[in-house]
Structure 1
């Protein structure tokens, strides 16, 4: 998917972000940070990468949600000395050891590296969707929607949330889900016994049990109701198996 790269400047930039995003912005001292921006009710608005760049912070976000997200972030600026501008930078991705200007993807080692350059990437033959599915990594607009709670989407496993930082928008709901409840629903990697399309409803012993999202070969990311995801899980007439990680 196309990415938009923004530059956040001003002396209050890190304090501004710290009060809004799910991860600890202080981690920028060590490199790239994956985070989300939530509603006060704890639901997903956007996910993005924050990247240290001299005395600025880059924000790498799916282009389809960039404009409304930046507009909503800007509503919180108030008197903060912060500026947010779109850049002409391009995302480059690859596998293996990051180049000197690259950062290892913090979500999973197999997701390679990300770098931000003045020219577009010439070619990219890596099947990133297959890698995403193999490691149950959600995608903006597919698994991640306005109805998503980030813990159901695996953000703790993906290093996208910090439970020791201070308050941020949506923090109370997220913390309550972490400490007071056991997740009954969420994303999981499943195996398919045959072809099945994204969006196919799942049933467990004939009862609604979730839905398929991203599919790659005989694997898929599914949103599951865990108490119905045991034996007898089906996507239409295709048998589905799920093993807890």
Structure 2
């Protein structure tokens, strides 16, 4: 995203505080509908000449279409760079040239390639999301060295660590506070002081009320399925996200209709499998 109005325009659409970010800077954020439900999750990189919005695969086009609907007199230009850029996650901030004590977003030359890095916790320990031109991929991966591991390895660690992935856990259409995006959550992506944006009125009401009816939890059971209803007795009390081994993150009701809590250690049924609720430590 380029143009003189890019920062003010995106700031007025997202839940995070882009204006308050340094340059370069990195701001996790959600884009909501008028009911306050998540449409997309992104990480916004503020750079001197542009703003780069990094999303899960396949999510750039829907977000670009949404943003274009709101451009009226703004001096803003959008480009989908999904075919131009590539991204990898480097665990434990081990990317050559990355300053572990430096800013959350950094840009430098790796070999002969210009790269953009962001400090992102995808496994329970901060790592680096590294972005580079597709044409430089072979050279960048050669500079990184080591063995490229499958995304499923990263999913296994983040699920145990209680870190949601909004797209892969199928958590779009939910309220940010229900799935760990609140200021004290594992993936904070909301500012309650940044001013108006789509869905902001709902966020203000939730802040005043104090909590939502659902929260992010983890369920554990042998063979627990992904994206399945969670039941306690006859009642549906939540839904699992992506599962890995015996673990799955879950959007879970805080209380049932009769007022009884879905407590830590409670037995639940997930797609015919008996599982138990675990404490995440974020709630």
Could you tell me the TM-score, scaled by structure 2's length? 0.76
1:38 maps to what in 2? 32
- Per-residue displacement from partner, 1:55-109 (whole Å, max 9, x unpaired)? 1111111232221210111111111111111231211211123543422016786
Unaligned runs of 5+ in 2: 99-106, 108-116, 142-146, 257-261
Q: How does 1:35-74 map to 2 (within 5 A)?
A: 35-74=29-68
Provide the rounded CA distance (Å) in 2 between the counterparts of 1:164 and 1:213.
30
SS in 2 for 1:71: helix
The higher-RCO structure (CA 8 Å, 6+ apart) is 1
1:24 equivalenced with 2:59 (yes/no)? no
Q: Judging changes above 3 Å, is the alpha-carbon distance between structure 1 residues 172 and 179 closer, same or farther for their aligned structure 2 residues? A: same
- How many angstroms does 1:207 deviate by? 2.7
Provide the rounded CA distance (Å) in 1 between the counterparts of 2:3 and 2:85.
19
- Per-residue displacement from partner, 1:97-155 (whole Å, max 9, x unpaired)? 35434220167862511121113374631622112212333224343444211111111
- Structure 2 contact 223–273 (Cα < 8 Å) conserved: no
Which stretch has the larger CA shift, 222-231 or 103-112?
A: 103-112
* Aligned match for 2:88, one of 89, 92, 106: 92
Provide the rounded CA distance (Å) in 2 between the counterparts of 1:181 and 1:173.
12
1:80 equivalenced with 2:42 (yes/no)? no
- Structure 2 contact 170–241 (Cα < 8 Å) conserved: no
Provide the rounded CA distance (Å) in 1 between the counterparts of 2:6 and 2:206.
29
- Per-residue displacement from partner, 1:155-209 (whole Å, max 9, x unpaired)? 12212111111111100101211221432212212222x1121133222244322
1:149 maps to what in 2? 175
SS in 1 for 2:79: strand
- Structure 1 contact 151–178 (Cα < 8 Å) conserved: no
Unaligned runs of 5+ in 1: 1-7
RMSD (CA atoms): 2.3
- Structure 1 contact 32–105 (Cα < 8 Å) conserved: no
1:188 equivalenced with 2:189 (yes/no)? no
Aligned residue pairs total: 237
Runs of 4+ in 1 over 4 A off after TM superposition: 106-109
- How many angstroms does 1:23 deviate by? 0.3
Which stretch has the larger CA shift, 40-49 or 129-138?
A: 129-138
Provide the rounded CA distance (Å) in 2 between the counterparts of 1:26 and 1:168.
13
1:234 equivalenced with 2:269 (yes/no)? yes
Which stretch has the larger CA shift, 99-108 or 183-192?
A: 99-108
- Structure 1 contact 211–222 (Cα < 8 Å) conserved: yes
* Aligned match for 1:139, one of 154, 165, 170: 165
Which stretch has the larger CA shift, 115-124 or 213-222?
A: 115-124
Could you tell me the TM-score, scaled by structure 1's length? 0.87
